[in-house]
Amino acid sequence: MTTAMPRHLISIDDLDRSRIERILDRAESFAEVQGREIKKVPALRGRTVVNLFYESSTRTSSSFELAAKRLSADVVNVRSIGSAVDKGESLKDTVQTLSAYDPAAIVIRSPEVGAAQLVAGWTEAAVINAGDGKHEHPTQALLDVFTLRRKLGSLEQANIWIVGDVMHSRVARSDILAFKRMGASVTVCGPPTLIPRGIEALGCEATATLARLHEADVVYVLRMQQERMRESFVPSLREYSERYQISAAQLRPGQLLMHPGPVNRGVELSADAIDSPVALIGAQVKAGVAVRMAVLYELLVGAPLLAAVA
């Protein structure tokens, strides 16, 4: 397949199935590099990657930084969390300033829907969306697919449940699109106040109870944020946990458990579920570096697969 990669990665909608597979194949070869003593390849030597984070992040920012460094890129990290410059007008100014350094890629995380797309209009660099508000988090979805593909061989026919606060989750939106694209069926489950009206248009089913959870091959649990209680989406954490917490006892043999992190222990997941052998949470984190290396590589170099780690 010779389909070209898009210039930017803003949304899973930018990738068809063959492009997703190409990124995942590339990620497999980079995962192999991670097992070596010297975990570095020269693919992006002399090129610059800017990580522009307008929101706190541990795993996404650190894995993007590591991914770029392991490709031998020069990395600039710009953080502007909770400061006055985290507004649109200066977003443009910031991007235009950073673009003067001629970066090959800008990785952006923002609390605003559409921020990555706007940035793409203001710079010559390739733009990678590392999360824009409640909209999308495409590299998270790619690493989730990568993790599942390794475990299941293929997502074709897999029945995946996404449980929790779908409304406020960019991970859920990108995952639904990516899982569907790879041939899985998706059910979202959560309190009706946290399932957005019209979500079925993404091609998933929606349900309010865990009654049919046993049908799932994969249980993907979302983070439940404290502020949702204050906003009256759910009456109390206690009631939420009672109805939607996933414990080891609820999982049948053969089911896989995933979570994008960070986990609220004892809220959406019980401790025994987190530590159970079916939990892939650690594998997801580990996949982050290889998958983000693959995304950077495919967008910026995009050479035939065989040349990947030569």
Partner 1 sequence: MVHTDRLYGAAAEPCELLIRGAHVLDPRAGLDEPRDILIRGGRIAELGVAGTLSAPDGGELLDATGKHAFPGFVDPHVHLRSPGQEYKEDIESGTAAAAAGGFCAVIAMPNTDPIVDDAAVLRSVVDAACRHAHVPVGFLAAITRRSEGQELTEMAELRDAGALGFTDDGRPVVSAGMLRKALQYQRLAGGVLALHEEDPGLSGGGVMHEGPVSARLGLAGIPSLSESTMVARDAALARYEQARVHFQHLSAQESVAALEQAKQAGARVSAEVCPHHLTLTDDLVRTLDSRFKMNPPLRAESDRRALVAALRSGLIDCVATDHAPHARHEKEVPFEQAPMGTTGLETAFAALFTELVMPGELELEVVVERMSGGAALYALPTPRIAPEEPANLCLVDLGARFEVGAKGYVSRSENCCFHGRTLHGRVVLTVAAGAVAFRTPMLAQAGALA
CA separation for the pair 200, 74 (Å, rounded): 42
CA separation for the pair 103, 97 (Å, rounded): 11
Residue 45 or 87 having the CB closest to partner 1: 87
H-run or E-run covering 160: strand 159-163
Q: Give Cα 97 to chain centroid, integer Å.
A: 27
By the rule CB under 8 A, 187 interacts with partner 1: no
Q: Which residues in 139-178 contact partner 1 (CB under 8 A)?
A: 168-170, 173
The burial of 294, by beta-carbon neighbours within 10 Å (0-12 exposed, 13-18 middle, 19 or more buried), is given as buried
Cβ 90 to partner 1 shortest distance, Å: 10
Out of 196, 276, 278, 285, the only residue in the binding site for partner 1 (CB under 8 A) is 196
H-run or E-run covering 74: strand 74-79
| One-letter identity of residue 232 | S
The burial of 174, by beta-carbon neighbours within 10 Å (0-12 exposed, 13-18 middle, 19 or more buried), is given as buried
Out of 55, 65, 136, 298, the only residue in the binding site for partner 1 (CB under 8 A) is 136
Cα dist. 144→138, 148, 199, 249 in Å?
Answer: 10, 6, 20, 24
Stretch that binds partner 1, among 55-63, 127-135, 257-265, 292-300 (CB under 8 A): 127-135
Nearest to 115 by CA among 48, 65, 53, 60: 53
Cβ 37 to partner 1 shortest distance, Å: 42
Cβ 266 to partner 1 shortest distance, Å: 27
CA separation for the pair 222, 188 (Å, rounded): 10
Cβ 302 to partner 1 shortest distance, Å: 26
**Tokens representing 83?**
């400061």
Out of 92, 150, 151, 286, the only residue in the binding site for partner 1 (CB under 8 A) is 92
Cβ 196 to partner 1 shortest distance, Å: 4
By the rule CB under 8 A, 268 interacts with partner 1: no
By the rule CB under 8 A, 218 interacts with partner 1: no
Residue 55 or 298 having the CB closest to partner 1: 55
Quick note: the x/- pattern for partner 1 over 98-117, rule CB under 8 A, is ------------x-xxxx-x
Q: What is the DSSP string of 243-303?
A: HH-B-GGGSPTT-EEE--S---BTTTB-HHHHTSTTB-HHHHHHHHHHHHHHHHHHHHT--
Out of 16, 17, 72, 133, the only residue in the binding site for partner 1 (CB under 8 A) is 133
Cβ 81 to partner 1 shortest distance, Å: 16
By the rule CB under 8 A, 7 interacts with partner 1: no
Question: How many residues contact partner 1, by CB under 8 A?
Answer: 28
Nearest to 113 by CA among 169, 50, 190: 169
Residue 89 or 156 having the CB closest to partner 1: 89
By the rule CB under 8 A, 211 interacts with partner 1: no
By the rule CB under 8 A, 261 interacts with partner 1: no
Cβ 242 to partner 1 shortest distance, Å: 27
Binding site for partner 1 (CB under 8 A): 87-89, 91-92, 110, 112-115, 117-118, 132-136, 168-170, 173, 196-202
